[in-house]
Amino acid sequence: MGLVLLTERHAQQIAGVLSCYDRVIVQGTLPVFCYADGMSAYLSKRGIRIFDFTQFAKPLTDAIKAKRRGVGGSERPGH
């Protein structure tokens, strides 16, 4: 007998299954970005002025907010 999922083995007793990630925790550091000079060098190498960082990050910020709205219904955590 091969590997059988618990949900398959007990399918007659299971009315439904809910699944999702509750949280994803990412730990660690990005040495290039973890200090001011490193971030400045990263941006400079790509031709982005430090004062333009907000505009540079806006597409990613908007994408994260849109995904959050779709998942949690709000762009503010806890609301």
Structural domain for 51, as ranges: 25-79
Q: CA-CA distances (angstroms) from residue 65 to 8, 10, 72, 77?
A: 37, 39, 10, 10
Residue 17 lies in a domain: no
Residue 12 lies in a domain: no
**Number of structural domains, the chain?**
1
User: Of 18-32, 34-48, 59-73, which has the strongest mean pLDDT?
Assistant: 34-48
User: Which pTM does this prediction carry?
Assistant: 0.44
Residue 19 lies in a domain: no
Residue 71 lies in a domain: yes
Residue 66 lies in a domain: yes
User: Does residue 38 carry a pLDDT above 60?
Assistant: yes
Residue 45 lies in a domain: yes
User: Does residue 19 carry a pLDDT above 80?
Assistant: no
